[in-house]
């Protein structure tokens, strides 16, 4: 009589085999998935600009500007703020250039009482149009280089630097505008994986340089940096979102102290 013999299977070994099969299957499936994009291309950046930095109707914003001055030892010497209403008209490419029309809505008495802060607010607003100027410039004016960012944040970055040597940094205009005579340096863009813009930064070249600015007078400017964050808004009758500034900040570090100009923009209700 032949007795059938069933192979012995230890329950732990069986469970381990099942688990190992599942893991190998998941690894195989994951390997077949397209890898997240690691770098940003110049063509993608220009395509994102055409979508988000396009012409638009007027959009009302409320701008709150803060002006602070810090001494070299860290003590705050001055801190002022100004609330202004602006009508942001977006970026208008003309002959491969872009512009932004920003109108201040300030009363006569407000302008008289805070003329200094109104001018500072205007200079802060001027910087919000600069990213569009860079993106609509002749591609031959800049050298493009993708930059690594925080991978966990799902963002991509790139730098654009001038193909021509930057001149010496000068600031001979109005002392309260805090704007350089010529903008030249490193431009940095950071976008989300869906290519919507997250932020822009600019670092001026040609520093350190002697300048005359309020309240320091004649001093040596060691760092001039601009940062702009964007927010998405939707206009009536337009299904695609449009970008307006969320916050802009200028950092001017000198041998006599540091000036920080920050503007926060909110859609007017």
* Joined tokens for residue 179: 């704007």
Once rounded to an integer, what is the mean pLDDT over residues 6-16? 49
The answer, as to whether pTM is greater than 0.75, is: yes
Q: What is the pLDDT of residue 45?
A: 92
DSSP character string of 220-259? EEEEEEEEEEEEEE--TT--S-EEEEEEEEEEEEETTEEE
231 vs 8, higher pLDDT: 231
Residue 5 lies in a domain: no
* Contact (Cβ atoms closer than 8 angstroms) between residue 131 and residue 158: no
Q: CA–CA distance from 263 to each of 53, 236, 260 (Å)?
A: 20, 26, 10
Residue 11 lies in a domain: no
Is the pLDDT score of 3 beyond 70? no
DSSP E strands: which ranges in the chain?
55-70, 76-91, 100-105, 142-147, 155-162, 185-192, 197-204, 209-213, 217-233, 242-254, 257-267
50 vs 249, higher pLDDT: 249
* pLDDT classification of 31: cutoffs 50, 70, 90: very low
Nearest alpha carbon to residue 225 among 130, 117, 94: 130
| 164-168, 242-246, 247-251, range with the lowest pLDDT | 242-246
161 vs 149, higher pLDDT: 161
Q: What is the pLDDT of residue 150?
A: 64
User: What's the mean per-residue pLDDT of the chain?
Assistant: 79
* pLDDT classification of 93: cutoffs 50, 70, 90: low
Q: What is the pLDDT of residue 97?
A: 42
* pLDDT classification of 49: cutoffs 50, 70, 90: confident
Residue 28 lies in a domain: no
Is the pLDDT score of 9 beyond 60? no
Residue 239 lies in a domain: yes
Which residues, other chains included, contact 158 with Cβ-Cβ below 8 Å and sequence gap of 6+? 40, 42, 45, 144, 145, 146, 147, 188, 189
The residue segments making up the domain with residue 47 are: 42-267
257 vs 150, higher pLDDT: 257
Residue 48: which H helix or E strand, with range?
helix 42-52
Q: Is 42 helix (H, G, I), strand (E, B) or coil?
A: helix
* Contact (Cβ atoms closer than 8 angstroms) between residue 14 and residue 116: no
Residue 18 lies in a domain: no
Which residues, other chains included, contact 88 with Cβ-Cβ below 8 Å and sequence gap of 6+? 58, 59, 60, 61, 100, 102, 128, 244, 245, 265
Residue 2 lies in a domain: no
Once rounded to an integer, what is the mean pLDDT over residues 1-20? 49
For the chain, the domain total comes to 1
Instruction: Report the percent of the chain where pLDDT is more than 90.
Output: 38
Residue 17 lies in a domain: no
27 vs 88, higher pLDDT: 88
What stretches of 94-208 show up as alpha helix (H) in DSSP?
108-113, 115-127, 130-135
Residue 35 lies in a domain: no
Tokens 């410039």 belong to 137
Q: What is the pLDDT of residue 29?
A: 43
């Amino acid at each position: 009589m032949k007795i059938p013999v069933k192979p012995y299977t230890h329950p732990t070994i069986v469970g381990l085999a099942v688990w190992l099969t599942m893991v190998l299957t998941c690894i195989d499936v994951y390997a077949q998935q397209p890898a997240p994009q690691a770098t940003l291309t110049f063509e993608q950046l220009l395509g994102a600009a055409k979508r988000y930095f396009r012409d638009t109707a007027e959009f009302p914003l409320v701008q709150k500007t803060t002006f602070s001055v810090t001494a070299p030892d860290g003590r705050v010497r001055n801190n002022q703020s100004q609330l202004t209403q602006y009508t942001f008209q977006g970026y208008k490419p003309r002959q491969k250039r872009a512009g932004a029309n920003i109108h201040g809505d300030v009363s006569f008495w407000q302008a008289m009482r805070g003329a200094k802060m109104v001018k500072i607010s205007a200079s802060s607003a001027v910087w919000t149009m600069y990213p569009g100027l860079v993106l609509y410039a002749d591609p031959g004016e800049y050298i493009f280089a993708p930059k690594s960012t925080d991978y966990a944040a799902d963002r991509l970055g790139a730098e654009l630097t001038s193909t021509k040597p930057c001149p010496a940094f000068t600031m001979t205009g109005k002392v309260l505008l805090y704007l350089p005579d010529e903008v030249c340096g490193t431009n940095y863009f950071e976008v989300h994986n869906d290519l919507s813009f997250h932020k822009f930064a600019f670092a001026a070249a040609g520093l350190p340089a002697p300048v005359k600015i309020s309240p320091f007078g004649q001093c040596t400017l060691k760092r001039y940096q601009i940062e702009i964050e964007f927010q998405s808004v939707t206009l009536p009758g337009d299904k695609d979102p449009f970008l307006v500034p969320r916050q802009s900040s200028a950092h001017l570090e000198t041998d006599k102290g540091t000036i920080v100009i920050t503007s926060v923009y909110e859609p007017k209700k």
